[in-house]
Amino acid sequence: MSLSRFPDKPEVLLKSLFDTAVEAAQPERCIAKHLPHRPQGRTIVFGFGKGAAAMASALEAEWDGPLEGVVVTRYGHEVPCKHIRVLQAAHPVPDQAGIEATKEILEATKGLSEDDLVICLISGGGSALFVQPPEGVTLEEKQDLTKQLLASGAPIGKINIVRRHLSLAKGGRLAEACAPASVVSLIISDVPGDDLEAIASGPTVPDPSTRDDALAILGRYRIPPSPAIEAYLESPKSETPGPDAACFEKVLNRLIATPMMSLDSAASLADAKGVSTSILGDSIEGETRDVAREQAGMVMEIIEGRTDTQLPCVLLSGGETTVTLTGNGRGGPNTEYALSLAIALDGLPGVYAIACDTDGVDGSEDNAGALVMPDTLERAKALGLDPEAYLNNNDSYSFFERLGDLVITGPTHTNVNDFRAILITKT
């Protein structure tokens, strides 16, 4: 079968697959079937993450009864709400607005009764947006540590262990603050394996890690904490509520959207277009460049006939790869993956790819990701661009900007992590 069997150009098909994956994780499609029953008392809504405002809007549209509350989302990701207050703060490095929003949420937990219901709307990005450093640790110290963690190449699960033990809000502490009210958390997963304690650093989830784990991670990645941070992590005060804590007796955590749901939706579209699909996994981690080279190797196996894969086909994958920064360029893990893949494929005919973050923001840039074409390197050479030099400088954004192959969507109001699709049209 060839691509002539359907009208889409390869790049159009790839963008459609990404759009379908994002649409599958939209709050208005996911929230209604997971709503709890109305309580005898008040219904209070708290939310944090890139999808928090959209989730709050979807909840308002479905909820039959009075509600109130406050959510915090990333700057530019706001959605109007009638009853729920929407605040904005910085991501991925926290700012004072995030601290003020968190203080407002924690203040609103005071006076809750056992007849009240708290609905928490949790999505990716909540770790940076829902932030309350312990006494003695400044915002500047937390910002500096966050930057070092993000540049270290540590996987998100490890980063969030440190965050949980350096917060008065995360790692189950919000559940602790809400007791004795009932808590139902509606969660959009953006982490490999859908680990609840890692999503937004698990504010309503028992924390299986310890402060010793947090200190060990800083040591492993050679991140020197400030004296105040080190002192707090060495103190018993930094321990978070564990699985046996009584505060979780009336807490229910529900996943309402996951990376695999989005990959399945994209696969269904590809099948409808006559393209065979293979889902490589929804929780792929590792150094971005290594993942790109590994997946380029899979493409070669298919093209050389070492598998029984029927063409055209598309390889789909999700997860969260990491970039260890050594240069000073612009770009996030998806554009770095795309550049690494283009180099590894070396102009292989008939192979196209897209790599995008489903929240519409790759790292801290204004793009979701980038496209790879068979002629990517050829066009780069014509413009005098050295792909290896751009990669070594972690400057993948600038590379694809020059080629006109950035994918820019704006905020998508959801987040199920990275989406990658490699389309193989012919041998």
N-term to C-term CA, the chain: 12
For residue 4, the model assigns a pLDDT of: 43
Contact 355, 334 (CB under 8 A): yes
**CATH architecture for segment(s) 27-257:** 3-Layer(aba) Sandwich (3.40)
Taking CB atoms within 8 Å and a gap of at least 24, the contacts of 160-164 are 160/127, 160/191, 160/197, 160/198, 160/201, 160/202, 161/209, 161/213, 161/214, 161/217, 162/214, 162/217, 162/218, 163/127, 163/201, 164/197, 164/201, 164/202, 164/207, 164/209, 164/214, 164/240
pLDDT, one tens digit per residue, over 241-257 is: 999 999 999 999 999 99
pLDDT value at 403 more than 50: yes
What is the rounded CA–CA span in Å between residue 224 and residue 202?
25
Q: 3-23+260-424 and 27-257: same fold?
A: no
For residue 1, the model assigns a pLDDT of: 38
pLDDT, one tens digit per residue, over 95-143 is: 999 999 999 999 999 999 999 999 999 999 999 999 999 999 999 999 9
- Residue 226 gets the label, from left (phi > 0), alpha (psi -120 to 50) or beta, of beta
Query: How many residues would you count in the chain?
Result: 427
pLDDT, average across residues 373-400? 98
pLDDT, one tens digit per residue, over 309-341 is: 889 999 999 999 999 999 999 999 999 999 999
Residue with tokens 């979780």: 248
pLDDT value at 2 more than 50: no
- Listed by start position, the domains of the chain span 3-23+260-424, 27-257
Mean pLDDT (the chain) is 95
pLDDT value at 40 more than 50: yes
pLDDT, average across residues 145-166? 95
Report percent pLDDT > 90 for the chain: 95
Q: How many CB atoms lie within 10 A of CB 268?
A: 13
Q: How many CB atoms lie within 10 A of CB 110?
A: 7
Q: Using 50, 70 and 90 to split pLDDT, how confident is the model at 22?
A: very high
Q: How far is CA 349 from the centre of its chain?
A: 32
pLDDT, average across residues 190-213? 96
Q: Using 50, 70 and 90 to split pLDDT, how confident is the model at 6?
A: very low
Question: In terms of CATH, what superfamily is 3-23+260-424?
Answer: MOFRL domain (3.40.1480.10)
| Structure-block tokens of residue 55 | 């989730």
For residue 3, the model assigns a pLDDT of: 43
What is the rounded CA–CA span in Å between residue 177 and residue 181?
9
Asked whether the whole model's pTM tops 0.85, one would answer yes
For residue 363, the model assigns a pLDDT of: 86
